[in-house]
Amino acid sequence: MRKSFTAAIAAALMGLGVSSVMASSTPIAAVYEAAPVLATASSPIGAVYSDPTSGSELAGLVHAYELGVTSISGSISDLGRDIVNDAANYGDLFTGDQAYGLVRMGQFGLALSATATYAPGATTYTDPTAVVQYYYGTVVGSANFDATAKNVVSPTDDLADPDTYGLYHLSYHVLATNILGATYGGGAGGVWGEDLRIALGNLDTTASDALSEGSGDVGTVESLAISLWALKTAGYSDAATVGGTLDTDHQFGGLSLAALKGILIAQITNDSFYQRLDHSGADPAVAGFNGYDYAYGYAEDLAYGILALEAFNNPLDAALIASLKLKLAQAVGTDGAGYVPLNVWEDAGNVENAQYSGAALQALPEPATLSLLGLGGMALLARRRRVA
């Protein structure tokens, strides 16, 4: 089953189109334009367990709802219902992003649109958080938290052999259990966070085969960003170190979160992020890219990079984050065909599936920052800086 998950995420990355559409002048406008499109699109909305984005889409829509796009509440409830119902087809499991999206629904009192039966206990639910609490408390079980985390992060159940897909979902599990609390293995020092901390430093950052388990070459920056977002949100200090040993194949090994933040910032160019640490790697196999540089990042690289930097909560990063959010806003918009193009680099066609659009929506402003980044409130952007 894990192989099919990896194939799915690779296909998602390989299948993304790109667009130069600049529909939004501010991050707030991007939320209001993109969220209804995502909520009503026939693809990819709707839970397909092998679709590695359904949970992040749910979380993104909940964030848009938090910002006031209340018209999408019905679509949120439908997607939550579909995710819960679909889990029965896959051993009653949730991916990390699905668990997080469902918990986020519960934070705003958004119920599933119809009563869902969750098979392990043959229990009916309308409260999505109750489903996830049952999942972590009974299906995973406190005695099995560690074994489950290792299974998520590695095809060999080995924290010393993680893959980028595993880090993605383990990070979301950290975020979900952080909201639920220590009972479910959450918080700094909790089982999920500790396993993520160990695994991140063991990622092979130079593996070249993007389709294989253990690949860290493509999507490495995204893995670093989402892991930092999760660990800092869960309460780990800047001085906390990750696992592994620093060497040419494991460029995160043994470093502190503060040092890893520096590595992440070094991946910024033109107000966006590379997706590879070596900043190179043409991929002529992708149809329509015409020699597109595979190192350049997609919107998910930018979105998770923003979320990571925000999680460090350093006022000195405010201008940089503002400039990155403006870039993200310019990448989120409609192209007239009902799609949400989300590549920030080149114009090589439209995106048929709004892959990772949920990540982009999650990275747009929290309500407390609306006055700062709203229409007419872009003063910080004059100070934007670019890091080569």
What digits encode the pLDDT tens for the residues 246-255? 999 999 999 9
pLDDT of residue 332: 63
- 359: pLDDT strictly greater than 70: yes
- Average pLDDT on 184-209 reads 90
Please name the residue that has the structure tokens 């299948």. Answer: 15
pLDDT of residue 240: 98
Whole-number Å distance between alpha carbons of 306 and 157: 30
Q: Which is higher by pLDDT, 343 or 92?
A: 92
pLDDT of residue 265: 97
pLDDT of residue 347: 34
pLDDT of residue 299: 76
- 16: pLDDT strictly greater than 50: no
Q: Which is higher by pLDDT, 97 or 298?
A: 97
pLDDT cut 70: percent of the chain above it: 69
pLDDT band at 51 (very low <50, low <70, confident <90, very high): low
- Average pLDDT on 320-349 reads 60
pLDDT of residue 298: 73
Q: Which is higher by pLDDT, 298 or 185?
A: 185
Q: Per mean pLDDT, which range of 16-20, 172-176, 287-291, 352-356 is the poorest?
A: 16-20
Q: Which domains are present in the chain? A: 2-383 (1.50.10)
Q: Is 262 buried (19+), middle (13-18) or exposed (0-12) by CB count in 10 A?
A: exposed
**Type of residue numbered 278:** D
Whole-number Å distance between alpha carbons of 335 and 350: 8
Whole-number Å distance between alpha carbons of 80 and 93: 14
Return the DSSP state at 366. Answer: P
Q: What is the largest CA-CA distance in the chain?
A: 57
Q: Whose CA is closest to 234, among 198, 184, 186?
A: 186
Whole-number Å distance between alpha carbons of 64 and 61: 5
- 372: pLDDT strictly greater than 80: no
| CB-based contacts of 163, cutoff 8 Å, min separation 6 | 6, 153, 154, 155, 203, 213, 214, 215, 216
Task: List the structure tokens of 117.
Answer: 């039966």
DSSP letters of 195-228? Answer: HHHHHHTT--TT---TTSTT--STTHHHHHHHHH
Q: Per mean pLDDT, which range of 201-210, 260-269, 302-311 is the poorest?
A: 201-210
Whole-number Å distance between alpha carbons of 28 and 104: 20
Task: List the structure tokens of 2.
Answer: 């894990």
Whole-number Å distance between alpha carbons of 105 and 326: 27
pTM value is: 0.83
Q: Please, are residues 341 and 289 in contact by the beta-carbon 8 Å criterion?
A: no
Task: List the structure tokens of 254.
Answer: 């043994």
Whole-number Å distance between alpha carbons of 73 and 62: 8
- 308: pLDDT strictly greater than 70: yes
pLDDT of residue 119: 63
Please state, rounded to an integer, the average pLDDT across all residues of the chain.
Answer: 75
